[in-house]
Structure 1
Amino acid sequence: MLSRTAAELYWMSRYLERAENLARMLDVSYSLSLMPQDGQGTGLDELTMPLLITGNMDDYLARHGELDAERLLHFFAFDGDNPGSIFSCLRAARSNAHVVRGRITADMWENINATWLEMRDIAQQGLQSYGISAFCEWVKQRSHLFRGAAFGTSLRNDAFRFIRLGTYIERADNTLRLLDSRYELLGDAAESIGDGSARGYYQWNALLRALSVFEAFTEIYRGSPDKRQVAELLILREDVPRSLRACLGEINQILASLPGVNGRPAQRMVASLEARLRYTGIEEILDEGLHVWLSDFILLVRRLANAIQSSYLEAA
């Protein structure tokens, strides 16, 4: 497969996954912003979390000058000048899909094209009339439909592998960032959840629901969520689809199945990262410091993405 074609497929799926992750992030931040605050934060603090997670704080302030709830939501939902908005992600995904129209199935193309057309209609309505929660749910549903179409109709060839590769790279990064941001926002409450911290309880539950792992948590653990359990679930459990270990396991299998020797640097890197998770216990992570460990691994996932880019997606 030509590197350009692989890159278009890879980034198509990354942009779609990114749009879904942004929707999950906005939904949980908006929901928590509506809850009564306990003096340790404000509703606006919750709505600024997506800016901190995505690193768009400076860009937002340069354009808008002050933090405002309505502007924040528009910035991440419909702002076409913000490359990190859901609108921009879906536009880029559709553009990538159009370039490789002959390498994806009709069901996949129709899904992504219809999603973009609906996105433009929703943007004209605005969040006030459509509803932020309804909008976020719509984005998630469209992402689910695309993955279903890809999984159910695609030939298991290199095109399918690069589509899946983009999904899991983006998902691994998002899981790490969401967990780190919620842990940092909680502060002391992250440590005191076992003593009945209402703030910690709602924050951890919101994170679990944002990543669609609340049901998995209740099946595996008992009682209220705490730092140790949530971190173990989202980092080390290979049976949780959005966990870091599950994502790296999928990436490892995909890279191992791609032909040629150009990808050996990326293959070695992901194999090393997966082995590190396989033989690491949650106590070791907590002893090192959860924030420190997550920050380091965010950089490692970025290096892995760069290795994939240079190995497969750039013309020799």
Structure 2
Amino acid sequence: MLSRTADSLFWVARYTERADFIARTLDATVRLAALPQSYAGARNEWESAVDSAGDLSLFRSHYGHANEDTVRDFLAFSQLNPSSIRHCLQMARENARSVRTALTSEMWDVLNGAWLELKAFDNGMSSEEFSRFLDWVKRVALTFDGSAYRTMLRNDAFWFTRLGNAIERADNTARILDVKYHLLLPESEGIGGSLDYFQWTTILREVSALTAYHWVYRQSVKPWLVADLLILNRQMPRSLANCYEILVRHLDLVAESYGRRGPSQRIASGLLARLSASRIDGVFASGLHEFIGEFIGENNRLGAAIGEQYLS
């Protein structure tokens, strides 16, 4: 496979996954912002949403105060923001168009149709319309992911889409935890009132993990168990451990196919081994924020290694 084809497939998956993440972040923020002020606390949840997306400095350079209107525009529709939903779907379609023959017709139809439908949406929507828009974005990502699983040959084209999907998903989950870590610290846990429960469940809803949490732990929502599920539990599709299991598996398949291993395989295997050896009490003892920050750095290093090894 040509490196430019692999690069486009990798980024088709990354941009689609990122659009889904931004939609989930906005959906969770709408829920938290709807709390009465006495419950919501002092933190500006709309600014927290921008921070989760990793674009706070860019936001501040173009907007003033973070509120519903400015954050909705920036994260959903702004062409100034390379991680906005509109820009992600545009870039996913452009990358897909450049490798049209490497995609199945079902995958292309999802992205092309989504781009055409997106033109009907803008920031002038009501709150109810905006919520329906976010649900639509999540359905687009889910349909694209499902079409890839159901229609692609299990060859290098499929492997590079899986690599893009997994590395983006790991980054997204880590960023949610990095922004919310102050809520997850054990010493900050309150008595377990309605605010605590709503915040924990909102984090879980943001990554579609609330039902999975109850299946795994069979008890009320607790902050260290939320962190355990999203960091170390390999059964959870969006956990860091599961994403790296996928990355290691598909990087090994690529290496076997091309007859050569390299830095990307070593970085991914090393990080998976570290996650496998970790326990959540040890993560909290050494510092949750530091652990997540180091993970984000290593995940970025893996992305750069994959790019240098296969995509350039």
TM-score, length basis structure 1? 0.93
**C-alpha separation between the residues in 2 aligned to 1:77 and 1:144?**
18
**C-alpha separation between the residues in 1 aligned to 2:10 and 2:58?**
26
Q: Go from structure 1 to structure 2 and tell me whether the alpha carbon gap of 1:130 and 1:223 turns closer, same or farther (over 3 Å shift).
A: closer
SS in 2 for 1:238: coil
The Cα of 1:131 is off from its aligned counterpart by 2.0
The Cα of 1:295 is off from its aligned counterpart by 1.0
The Cα of 1:40 is off from its aligned counterpart by 6.6
1:285 corresponding residue in structure 2: 283
Q: Go from structure 1 to structure 2 and tell me whether the alpha carbon gap of 1:132 and 1:187 turns closer, same or farther (over 3 Å shift).
A: same
2:304 corresponding residue in structure 1: 306
The Cα of 1:301 is off from its aligned counterpart by 0.8
The Cα of 1:291 is off from its aligned counterpart by 1.1
The Cα of 1:165 is off from its aligned counterpart by 0.7
| Contact 1:168–1:251 under 8 Å retained in 2 | yes
Q: Identity across aligned pairs (percent)?
A: 40
| Contact 2:190–2:196 under 8 Å retained in 1 | no
Task: Please tell me the residue identity of whatever aligns with 1:50.
Answer: A
1:49 corresponding residue in structure 2: 48
Which runs of structure 2 are paired with 1:1-316 in the superposition (5 Å)?
Answer: 1-38=1-38, 41-42=41-42, 45-123=44-122, 126-128=124-126, 131-184=129-182, 186=183, 191-193=187-189, 195-258=191-254, 259-260=257-258, 263-314=261-312
The Cα of 1:187 is off from its aligned counterpart by 7.3
**C-alpha separation between the residues in 2 aligned to 1:127 and 1:307?**
41
Q: Go from structure 1 to structure 2 and tell me whether the alpha carbon gap of 1:130 and 1:98 turns closer, same or farther (over 3 Å shift).
A: farther
SS in 1 for 2:58: helix
The Cα of 1:194 is off from its aligned counterpart by 6.0
**C-alpha separation between the residues in 2 aligned to 1:228 and 1:65?**
35
| Contact 1:266–1:308 under 8 Å retained in 2 | yes
Runs of at least 4 residues off by over 4 Å: none
SS in 2 for 1:121: coil
TM-score, length basis structure 2? 0.94
Q: Go from structure 1 to structure 2 and tell me whether the alpha carbon gap of 1:218 and 1:187 turns closer, same or farther (over 3 Å shift).
A: closer
Q: Go from structure 1 to structure 2 and tell me whether the alpha carbon gap of 1:135 and 1:288 turns closer, same or farther (over 3 Å shift).
A: same
CA deviation vs aligned residue, 1:80-108 (integer Å, no higher than 9, x gap) = 22211100000000000000001101111
CA deviation vs aligned residue, 1:5-42 (integer Å, no higher than 9, x gap) = 00000001100000000000110011100111337735
CA deviation vs aligned residue, 1:205-258 (integer Å, no higher than 9, x gap) = 001111011001111113322221011111111111111100000000000001
**C-alpha separation between the residues in 1 aligned to 2:279 and 2:190?**
21
| Contact 2:184–2:223 under 8 Å retained in 1 | no
| Contact 1:49–1:181 under 8 Å retained in 2 | yes
Task: Please tell me the residue identity of whatever aligns with 1:175.
Answer: T
CA deviation vs aligned residue, 1:149-175 (integer Å, no higher than 9, x gap) = 111111111011101110000000111
Of stretches 207-216 and 126-135 in structure 1, the one that deviates more from structure 2 is 126-135
The Cα of 1:70 is off from its aligned counterpart by 0.7
Of stretches 128-137 and 175-184 in structure 1, the one that deviates more from structure 2 is 128-137
The Cα of 1:79 is off from its aligned counterpart by 1.1
Task: Please tell me the residue identity of whatever aligns with 1:222.
Answer: R
**C-alpha separation between the residues in 1 aligned to 2:146 and 2:240?**
22
**C-alpha separation between the residues in 2 aligned to 1:50 and 1:112?**
25
Task: Please tell me the residue identity of whatever aligns with 1:32.
Answer: L
CA deviation vs aligned residue, 1:274-310 (integer Å, no higher than 9, x gap) = 1111111111111101111111111111111111111
Of stretches 20-29 and 65-74 in structure 1, the one that deviates more from structure 2 is 65-74
**C-alpha separation between the residues in 2 aligned to 1:148 and 1:77?**
23
**C-alpha separation between the residues in 1 aligned to 2:193 and 2:303?**
38
Of stretches 14-23 and 304-313 in structure 1, the one that deviates more from structure 2 is 304-313
In the alignment of these two chains, the number of paired residues is 310
Q: Can you give the 5+ residue segments of structure 1 that lack an aligned partner in the other structure? A: none
